[in-house]
Amino acid sequence: MCGIVGYIGSQDAQEILLKGLEKLEYRGYDSAGIALAHDNGITISKEKGRIADLRKIVDAPGLATVGIGHTRWATHGAPSRLNAHPHQSSSGRFTIVHNGVIENEAELKRDYLSKVALQSDTDTEAIVQLVERFVNEGNSTEEAFRLTLQLLHGSYALALLDAADTETIYVAKNKSPLLVGLGKDGNVIASDAAAMLHMTDRFLEIMDEEMVIVKKDKVTIQKRDGSEVKRAEFIVELNENELDKGTYPHYMLKEIDEQPLVVRKMMEAYLNEDGKLSIDDQIIQAMNETDRIYIIACGTSYHAGLVGKQLIEKLAHVPTEVHIASEFSYNMPLLSKKPFFIFISQSGETADSRAVLVKVKALEFPTLTITNVPHSTLSREADNTLLLHAGPEIAVASTKAYTAQVTVLSILANMIAKDKGIENLSYELAIAASTMEVLCNEKKKIEQLTQQFLTASRNAFFIGRSIDYYVALEGALKLKEISYIQAEGFPGGELKHGPIALIETGTPVIALTTQANVNASIRSNIKEVEARGANTCIISMEGLEEKGDKFVIPAVQELLTPLVSVIPLQLLAYYAALQRGCDIDKPRNLAKSVTVE
């Protein structure tokens, strides 16, 4: 989703900003722009499409050492050059970039800007026009910015330039992510650290409702009331090379292949001095005190949460509910007496999940975030964090974060289960990691299956029972988001209650069977759809295989099957998108980091 960068120092701001925006591309966007401050004013370049398109039109008159930049994912107003950021006030004095949504935009425009001729359809323009209005009323820029912030309802990460003082970038944040980076000869701002790693690895967290005055050699953080806040910097330990896709054609394929390594890295990270997989005592104690666990997540992380529920309930016998964050937020169920909340989020920035975190924190319930991004908002705000150690996940379609989430959930469930858990979890995870490797080497076979079942199809169904149903949901999500084939996941037993009406001659049905206790029943469901003309692709587990199954997965511990059964589904989605010529790493309309509710 929208991304922000800014630079103030003595180097060429244009190149720093463009490079920063390129690093933010993975978040998803439809237009981009930069504003550069020169002696004679501010030059804006913006374009619909990719950063490469923006590069072609940037036309700065000489070296600029101050600037702000933006990638936009449309919320208010269509993706267009006109609506792309930066936006300027009527006089051209103030220029702004914004990530977030201003919920009271209509009221602000009506109450304060009725006489202003607005240029764009965006909520953002209201902010920059308000600053100009307050300056015209006699306030300093800093004071006008503060007065404006006091009027805003909603989410924002903002960077503002004033053509009359090009030695300052005014910055503010509420709900949307934003960091300030401290460089050697200048300072930067960015929606995430990855965007500015080419400039620094030293960052300052900015909290909600704070305002920051960023100068070349000084950063001042203030509360809403103007009082100064002292904050220690932190170092981001991220290697810029990890952000590269190397010789792979797509990040998604690279990330699929990294999965065995990620499981091994996680086992290393969660090993205690006795050589046992273990989790911080404080977390386990809090979880032992709960009467019900609530897992909150979205998309793929939600699917990992469903697997987590199965693991926790089967191993530790603690009742567990899994909720889609955006639903929970506005329709909170009746909670148990001693709830414990787990937030699962690859990015740690998902606004829907964060909205729930804010609510349950206000109720003083214990919280744990499982995330891939240290220092992310959800990590900072929850009582505890478990990291995924998956390395940066760049492809919009989440793959290695899912398997990392399932891995950490298996360790967590095993810890709470004590002696009822999986007997030698390290060994079982090691087997799963080796099996993942075997599966990643079956690309040719999966590519052929994709051609046979999916490439020319307009829809596809994924079915499974029990834990396989959860993986079926994930397989369907992967396929739809990157290949645009309409794909749905169903529990096998539910087909006859409605979805079977959609089956016609040739409809592809991908069926998973890895669980002995439901093998016979899912096979009956497969027969039912075959009888109605479905083209079935059965993916089974060694020991349960039958003649005619298209793909047999080597056996792993039965609760850890999602770690392996998801891989053929990820590869099916990848090859379907490849064969259909889709933009695999940046699927249409989607963003990697979904920072608006």
467-483 helix and 561-579 helix, angle to the nearest 10 degrees: 20
Q: Of the listed 2, 298, 440, 537, which one is catalytic? A: 2
| Least distance CB 245 / ligand M6R (angstroms) | 17
Q: CA-to-CA distance for 19 and 35, rounded, in angstroms? A: 14
Per CB under 6 A, contacts with ligand M6R among 286-345 are 298-301, 345
361 in active site: no
CA distances from 432 to 57, 233, 559, 564 (A): 50, 39, 11, 7
Q: Which is nearer to ligand M6R, 160 or 477 (CB)?
A: 477
Which alpha helices (DSSP H) does 113-197 contain, by range? 124-136, 141-151
Q: Which stretch binds ligand M6R (CB under 6 A): 39-47, 314-322, 347-355, 425-433?
A: 347-355
Q: Which two tokens stand for residue 469?
A: 């149903």
If one counts every other C-beta atom within 10 angstroms of the C-beta of residue 430, the result is: 15
Residue facing ligand M6R at closest CB distance:
299
- Measure the CA dihedral 469/475/477/483, to 10°: -150
Residue 515's identity, in one-letter code, is Q
| Least distance CB 437 / ligand M6R (angstroms) | 22
Q: Which two tokens stand for residue 92?
A: 């051209």
Per CB under 6 A, contacts with ligand M6R among 505-544 are none
Q: Is the peptide bond before 86 cis (omega within 30 degrees of 0)?
A: yes
Q: Which is nearer to ligand M6R, 298 or 576 (CB)?
A: 298
Q: Which is nearer to ligand M6R, 373 or 553 (CB)?
A: 373
Pick from 71, 99, 350, 561 the residue near ligand M6R by CB under 6 A: 350
Residue 128 CB-half CA count within 13 A: 28
Q: Which is nearer to ligand M6R, 18 or 355 (CB)?
A: 355
Pick from 346, 450, 565, 570 the residue near ligand M6R by CB under 6 A: 346
445 in active site: no
Pick from 197, 396, 436, 553 the residue near ligand M6R by CB under 6 A: 396
Q: Which is nearer to ligand M6R, 376 or 514 (CB)?
A: 376
Write down the residue that tokens 């858990």 correspond to.
421
Q: Which two tokens stand for residue 564?
A: 């392996």
Q: Which of 316, 489, 511 is nearest to 418 (CA)?
A: 316
Q: Of the listed 23, 265, 586, 592, which one is catalytic? A: 592
Q: How many residues bind ligand M6R (CB under 6 A)?
A: 16
Q: Which is nearer to ligand M6R, 83 or 301 (CB)?
A: 301
- Measure the CA dihedral 374/375/380/383, to 10°: 30
Residue 145 and residue 170 in contact, taking contact as beta carbons nearer than 8 Å? yes
Residue 279 CB-half CA count within 13 A: 27
The binding track of 466-485 with respect to ligand M6R, each residue x by CB under 6 A or -, is: -----------x---x----
Regarding 176 and contact with ligand M6R (CB under 6 A), the answer is no
Q: Which is nearer to ligand M6R, 109 or 586 (CB)?
A: 586
| Least distance CB 264 / ligand M6R (angstroms) | 22
Query: For strand 535-541 and strand 508-513, is the pairing parallel, antiparallel, or unpaired?
Result: parallel
Q: Which stretch binds ligand M6R (CB under 6 A): 43-51, 391-399, 433-441, 542-550?
A: 391-399
Regarding 385 and contact with ligand M6R (CB under 6 A), the answer is no
Pick from 13, 44, 397, 433 the residue near ligand M6R by CB under 6 A: 397
Pick from 398, 407, 435, 536 the residue near ligand M6R by CB under 6 A: 398
281-288 helix and 400-417 helix, angle to the nearest 10 degrees: 70
- Measure the CA dihedral 213/361/367/280, to 10°: 70
Which residue numbers are catalytic? 2, 592
By CB under 6 A, name the binding residues for ligand M6R: 298-301, 345-347, 350, 353, 396-398, 477, 481, 590, 594
